Chain A
Amino acid sequence: DIVMTQSPDSLAVSLGERATINCKSSQSVLYSSHNKNFLGWYQQKPGQPPKLLIYWASIRESGVPDRFSGSGSGSDFTLTISSLQAEDVAIYYCQQYYTTPTFGQGTRLEIK
């Protein structure tokens, strides 16, 4: 299985500031013939299921605020929240779907 490793494990950011979460896969999740990275980002709040934020590494899901963006290719990816809002406090997960789906361990985002 592809191992997904996120950094940091936890992050505290001031309201209005930028938050950056990194995700590294143990092998490339870029499907060259499709030119697509099989990588998604999810947000999970307490007592709720994960919510899809980003798919194909950089495409924002409908209804997701544009302060959320995804970037990267191959094995290194980043989720950026450009201006942190109080409602963004959550755990964030990356997930690859290049092969048998696997998730990162999660990054807990808090307000500083």
Chain B
Amino acid sequence: QVRLQQSGPGLVKPSQTLSLTCAISGDSVSSSNAAWNWIRQSPSRGLEWLGRTNYRSKWYSDYAVSVKGRITINADTSKNQFSLQLNSVTPEDTAVYYCARRDDLLRGSFDHWGQGTLVTVSS
């Protein structure tokens, strides 16, 4: 059974870096059948895909245009987890952040999600 467990601070100051981690159990971050994603949700922007990382003989990452240049998603194979870093945050980055697995073998969809982390950007 796949489980995603998120961790990270719920309060970040403007201009600083938002950092979250998603620990995976029941699957491998190096799986060739999955992609590991970050998605956020806010009243103003709805559900917004931020980016993903996946392994297909080598590591790939892809990011949403809206956050490109500020975002990094990395995998840590030793801990079987992946992380989100979002730089230079503003109050508009306040949202619930989710990690999610995209099943590339069968479903093509986000079939497992983390519990969500409310991140508030405020001084």
Contacts and interface: CB of A to CB of B under 8 A. Distances in A.
A106 B45 CA distance: 11
B113 A100 contact: no
B79 interface: no
B108 A56 contact: yes
A52 B111 contact: yes
Contacts, number: 56
A103 B108 contact: no
A103 B110 CA distance: 12
A38 interface: yes
Nearest to A103: B47
Interface string B59-77: 0001011000000000000
A56 B103 CA distance: 12
Interface string B31-65: 00000010100000011110000000000001011
Nearest to A105: B46
B46 A103 contact: yes
Contacts of B98: 49-50
Contacts of B62: 100
Given A101-B39, A101-B49, 19 more contacts: A1-B65, A36-B108, A40-B107, A40-B110, A42-B110, A48-B116, A49-B115, A55-B108, A55-B109, A55-B111, A56-B107, A61-B107, A97-B102, A97-B108, A100-B65, A103-B46, A103-B49, A105-B46, A106-B47
Q: Nearest 5 CB-CB pairs, A to B?
A: A49-B113, A40-B109, A103-B47, A101-B49, A55-B109
